[in-house]
Amino acid sequence: MIIVHHLNNSRSQRVLWALEELELPYQVLRYERDPATQLAPPTLRAIHPLGKSPVVEDGGLVLAESGAIIEYLVRTYGQGRLAPPAGDRVAEARYLHWLHYAEGSAMLPLLLGLYTSRLGDAAAPLKPRIASETANHFGYMDAELAKAPWFLGDTFTAADIQMSFPVEAALMAPEARQSFPHLAGFLTRIQARPAYRAAVEKGGPYRYDHRKDA
């Protein structure tokens, strides 16, 4: 059985959601962040040298990195589910783009904003560039979702699951939902999916679940 080493309020929530969408059996081993530092507990290092979550175990394989995990699950167990249409070169390219864009580009300005917020006045010179990059990337994503409900058009795929975390993180503030209305609509759609709800129930309280704000 697949084992998910799941950290609260983390990217591993996407892995639980993917498993629910694929209707695969799995076991959740839960870890809690340090309340003072918000870092993962050191016990995760016994599972993977990075000491971070998500990590999955599957038949002796130990795999980290959420995008790699989701791609592995879809390729190994999906049987076409959550994937672009086979043989559609354009759809496959767009799928790979969004699957990797989530962590390769979208999360960077959010992380920079988070880390520099702890520097006080020392971060002032960086704030305009961070704000510009945030608007650039999330404006791009919002414009894409103005065309269709999902990142690949009318078809829900694992790319939407992978993109969910940066969208949820960015839209924590109500004003962000007003600035990016199509991302806000995407958020409403994903959080209404039964598999999403089931994953949150199994993963425990999740700070990015906006349904409680509705």
- Beta-carbon contacts of 53 under 8 Å, excluding residues fewer than 6 positions away, are 5, 6, 7, 10, 11, 12, 31, 40, 44
Q: Which pLDDT score is estimated for 213?
A: 47
Asked whether the CA dihedral 95, 97, 100, 103 is positive or negative, the reply is: negative
Q: Which pLDDT score is estimated for 145?
A: 98
What pLDDT digit, counting tens, does each position of 34-47 carry? 788 777 888 989 99
Q: Which pLDDT score is estimated for 214?
A: 39
pLDDT for residue 203 is more than 70: yes
| Domains along the sequence of the chain with CATH | 2-82+196-213 (3.40.30.10), 89-193 (1.20.1050.10)
- Residue 196 tokens read as 């999403």
What pLDDT digit, counting tens, does each position of 18-33 carry? 999 999 999 999 988 8
pLDDT for residue 210 is more than 90: no
- C-alpha angle with apex 147: 141 to 150, nearest 5 degrees? 65
Q: Which pLDDT score is estimated for 19?
A: 98
Q: Which pLDDT score is estimated for 122?
A: 85
pLDDT for residue 137 is more than 90: yes
Q: Which pLDDT score is estimated for 175?
A: 86
Q: Looking at per-residue confidence, does 138 or 207 come out higher? A: 138
Q: Give the burial string for 99-120 (b: 16+ CB within 10 Å, else e).
A: bebbbebbbebbebbeebeeee
